[in-house]
Amino acid sequence: MDIAELLGKKLESGDEEERIQAVRELAGFGMHLPMALLYRAMGDTNWRVRKEASETFLGLPRAGELAGDIVELLHAQDNAGLRNVGVDILVRLGARALPVLHEELACSDSDVRKFVLDILGEIGEPASLAVMTAALVDGDRNVRAAAAENLGKLRHAEALAPLLEAMEESDLLMRFTILEALGRIGLPIPLERIGRYADDPLLRKALFDCLGQIDMAVGASLLASGLNDRMRNVRETAVLSLGTLHRNHPQAVAEALAHEPEAADEALAECLDSPRMPVVRAALRLVPLVSARHCLDRLLPWLADEELGREAAGAILALGRPAVVSLLRDWSKQPERMQAYLCYLAAETGAEEAIGPLLGALESDNQELVLAAAHALGRLKVVAALSALTRILREGDAEPRRVAQEALGSLAEAYPEELLAVLSPLMEDPAAETRMAAIAVLGKGNFRIIRPMVFLALKDDSSEVRRSAVAALGSNPDIEQLDALILALTDEEADVRRVGAEVLGRLHDRRAVDALALALHDEDPWVRTTVVRAIGHIGTDRAGTLIREAWGDPVGLVCIAALEAWFAFDPDGAFPQLIASLYHDDEEVVGAALALLVTTGRQDWLPAMAEVLINHGHWEVRLRFAQALEQLKGSGCRELVENRLLVEGEDLVRVQLEKTLETLGGVD
């Protein structure tokens, strides 16, 4: 018994693992594989054996030449598994199978012709258009439907005309399938060619689906008429398609809905109760286009939905203040979570009618509602909320305190005197957090009014309060304010001095340069770093001199700040110092200089520095230089990179050197 006979016996085994192994052994025959055995395995009762056989076939170099054999498997009416394997293989063969598949459409078996059309649709090659179009007049209705369906899968404009022509003489099933195909193709067609099918209740849903996919503004009116349909699924389909059409044709959809506003409002209200999320989403998109008399109450519950809450809020806001005012009338009937949403809506639309309920909500035990009300009262600038917000600032936890602080800050410009009156007592509160919050709010007001409180805070025992006072000074430039900030540069706490320097830099006041010059000698390197950046922001002639002096600071962090400020202040003048920084002992300074050099785009410094940097003693410098070469495309350094790659021991650097070589056109 030869090996082939032995494998044939194995393929008849009752053990599926043995049959799978037999197929694997068949694969070892290569060009001499006994195909009859492989085809037998394709019809095995076990799907794993069939899959192994199909994969073995597809791995053959001549698989495309054997497509005709596989087509024959489609005729296996008594073995569905074998037929399914044939379909799968032919689809995966793709264009290689097209000649035999096109020829097979002439066979007498209608089931096979349908299989072939389905395969051609999955392959999706435009070369099949002609034979698939011809099948639209096949003698078998299932074959005709398959031709229409799979022409849709090709998504080709040339399929439109034959599909529309076939629709004229077709039965209900065929027209339904053609509408689906036209929608899948998604290209505009003359509305009169399909619009008349809206009179057929069995085709109306398919027609509306189609209109939603082909993106034609003229279809909006026909879709709007579907909102009156007696069938709910048809009405929902009309809403879905209008929602899709609205993306590209909002005006056309708005005009269509305006023709029958009552029907549109009722249909959208109904769709907001749909269990289908796409329908609800489409309705939310369309609600702002109607009066929303029926929709409004049904919008509110969707605010709590995790998926659609943002869209529901957008719909209500698009309806504007009148819609929010209408919802506010039922405030007392709403659960606290809904009341919190109404707070947000009132704030966004400026609905002052909410002020009464909002003030009452500040007394709630529900923190979410309190926070929402506080935020809204700040947005609406309600001076009557000052006392309650101040109480929250004094007694609340971290999050309520933050929201109250933000709300009070919104009132600072409009009511500075009133704000000072309620917040001044808080500057004597035993809790530093309260004093910090109070001065942060006061800092948003007019400096001349809050000046006593600021100077009091600058002398506070808590460095955090003093830091908050300094930070609060950055909003209103003033000569006395400047004096206070300069005073902060002498504070005993480094963080206060750092914030003072930062604020002075943001003010861009040249009068601050002298004080900042003294702070360049601060004992804290973070303060000196901030001072350098502040001087750079101010940008006077003296500032340039001070920045150049700061480059000599013994701390690399300060040196880097000086380099960056110098480069921003005078790029050309800083260039020699960037080169000098490449010799710095701190690798971070070298890296910062490299980064700035790359931004210049210049390569004239490479010949002198390339060998020093590519062989630098610190691996991070070598890495950054390799990255710089890649960005600058410094092809003149290719040989240096190749030589370094031969001896480089750091993996990260090696990877970057290889990338750099690839960019520079180096050899593999």
Q: What's the pLDDT tens digit per position in 403-435? A: 999 999 899 888 888 988 998 899 889 999 999
Question: Would you say 488 and 454 are in contact if contact means Cβ atoms under 8 Å apart?
Answer: no
- Span 274-280, mean pLDDT? 95
Cα–Cα distance for residue pair 66/417, rounded to 1 Å? 92
Mean pLDDT taken over the chain? 90
Identity of the amino acid at 282: A
- Span 264-279, mean pLDDT? 94
HEC secondary structure over 323-360: HHHHHHCCHHHCCHHHHHHHHHHHHHHCCHHHHHHHHH
pLDDT reading at 278 higher than 90: yes
Q: What pLDDT, in 10s, does the model give residues 492-503?
A: 999 999 999 998
pLDDT band at residue 462 using 50, 70 and 90 as cut-offs? very high
Cα–Cα distance for residue pair 284/318, rounded to 1 Å? 10
Least confident of 6-10, 246-250, 609-613: 6-10
pLDDT reading at 27 higher than 90: no
pLDDT band at residue 1 using 50, 70 and 90 as cut-offs? very low
- Span 225-252, mean pLDDT? 94
Residue with more model confidence, 518 or 292: 518
Question: Would you say 98 and 125 are in contact if contact means Cβ atoms under 8 Å apart?
Answer: yes
Cα–Cα distance for residue pair 371/501, rounded to 1 Å? 34
Entry pTM: 0.70
For 186, which DSSP code?
Answer: -
Question: In sequence order, what are the residues at sequence separation of 6 or more whose Cβ sits closer than 8 angstroms to the Cβ of residue 413?
Answer: 444, 445
Residue with more model confidence, 97 or 483: 97
pLDDT given at position 668 = 43
Spell 353-386 as b/e; 16+ CB within 10 A means b. bbbebbeebbeeeeeebbbbbbbbbbbbbbeebb
Question: In sequence order, what are the residues at sequence separation of 6 or more whose Cβ sits closer than 8 angstroms to the Cβ of residue 142?
Answer: 110, 114
Q: What pLDDT, in 10s, does the model give residues 555-588?
A: 999 999 999 998 988 888 889 999 999 999 999 9
Identity of the amino acid at 202: L
Q: What pLDDT, in 10s, does the model give residues 544-562?
A: 888 888 888 899 999 999 9
Question: Would you say 179 and 210 are in contact if contact means Cβ atoms under 8 Å apart?
Answer: yes
Cα–Cα distance for residue pair 24/492, rounded to 1 Å? 81
CA angle 360, 361, 367 (to 5 degrees): 150
Cα–Cα distance for residue pair 22/346, rounded to 1 Å? 74
Q: What pLDDT, in 10s, does the model give residues 134-181?
A: 999 999 999 999 999 999 999 999 999 999 999 987 789 899 999 999
Token reading at 283: 């309705």
